[in-house]
Amino acid sequence: MSELENNFTPQRTADGSWTFFSQAFGEAFHSHFGAKQESFLKFVSPTQLAVAAQKPVVRLLDVCYGLGYNTAAALQTIWAVNPDCYVELIGLELNPAVPQAAIAHHVLDNWDYEHTEILTQLAFEQQVNTNRLQAKLLIGDARKSIQIVNQSGFTADAIFLDPFSPPQCPQLWTVEFIQQVALCLHADGVLATYSCAASVRTALILAGLQIGSTAPVGRRSPGTVAAYTQGEQSAPHPALPPLSSSEKEHLLTRAAIPYRDPQLHDSAAVIWQRRQQEQQNSSLEPTSRWRKRWSLSKNS
């Protein structure tokens, strides 16, 4: 068995697709309900890629590329609608061994062959150029990589924000990082994330975006979509389903205090402690009171 295969053990999810468990973050890369369905229902569908695919060129930013599922789902969706659509893709990934292990374990073999070939080349060579795709994978700390993307002037029609959970990976959910991500979003583009954490939603709002709530996928909690307002009247983006009353109130509790990383280089522990201190000193309503009012469990 190769070193790549030995370091990552595939776990089957409920829809038959596979994921990995990260020892470093203590979490699986996907929920047990279905890795493949997550890619389509939490990221591709909310960003309305089937609509964007009608354009001659579509640009994608995949933050925390991981096994490559979100990118594969995006390419499948776009080219099913418009086989001639030219796709420009940038993926950000800390550990190149993750996408490489996905190939080594053949977890992507149930995708279309062309997509598997693309993801294989992207995993091992970090770039792909064909007659309808220009893709590159930037390896390293996403806080540095996102600044390189910004400096290049790249603006995405769809952004997939898919780090590990905020408690485990707070450095990629801070106001400062999300501001950098938002700068990469086209004026008409849509950002999607699986998280509905009030801290994440506050960071998106502070980055100048409006937010909406997506339907739950495999769990009770919804996801979040974000976009810039549309036109002179600052109309909401059509891709943003409204927040419920409880979700709006959640943004007025201590849970909504965001993570902060002013210089974009602090450790997870420092970022977590900084937020905890701000919460302790806050006059906002305790989140427990909000939960009790809406009869929600602690995991909500």
Residues 255-290 have pLDDT tens digits of 999 999 999 999 999 999 999 999 999 999 999 999
Strand partners, 134: 88, 129
Lowest mean per-residue pLDDT among 174-178, 240-244, 256-260, 293-297: 293-297
Radius of gyration of the chain (CA): 19
Domain boundaries, the chain: 3-244
Neighbours of 136 (CB within 10 A): 16
pLDDT of res. 5: 42
pLDDT of res. 37: 83
Structure confidence by residue, pLDDT tens digits, 79-104: 999 999 999 999 999 999 999 999 99
Instruction: Encode 15-27: b = buried (16+ Cβ within 10 Å), e = exposed.
Output: eebbbbebeeeee
Who has greater pLDDT, 88 or 218? 88
Mean pLDDT, the chain, rounded, equals 89
pLDDT at 209 over 90: yes
pLDDT of res. 296: 72
- Measure the CA–CA gap between 259 and 279, rounded to whole angstroms: 10
pLDDT of res. 218: 66
Structure confidence by residue, pLDDT tens digits, 33-86: 767 788 999 999 999 999 999 999 999 999 999 999 999 999 999 999 999 999
- Measure the CA–CA gap between 262 and 58, rounded to whole angstroms: 32
Structure confidence by residue, pLDDT tens digits, 108-149: 877 776 788 999 999 999 999 999 999 999 999 999 999 999
- Does domain 3-244 fall under CATH 3.40.50.150? My reply is yes
pLDDT of res. 27: 66
pLDDT of res. 300: 45
What one-character DSSP code corresponds to residue 53?
A: T
**Sign (positive or negative) of CA dihedral 216, 222, 227, 233:** positive
Structure confidence by residue, pLDDT tens digits, 181-194: 999 999 999 999 99
Confidence of residue 233 (pLDDT cuts 50, 70, 90): low
Confidence of residue 4 (pLDDT cuts 50, 70, 90): very low
pLDDT of res. 32: 66
Q: What is the dihedral of CA 79, 80, 81, 83, to 10 degrees?
A: 40
Whether this model's pTM surpasses 0.85: yes
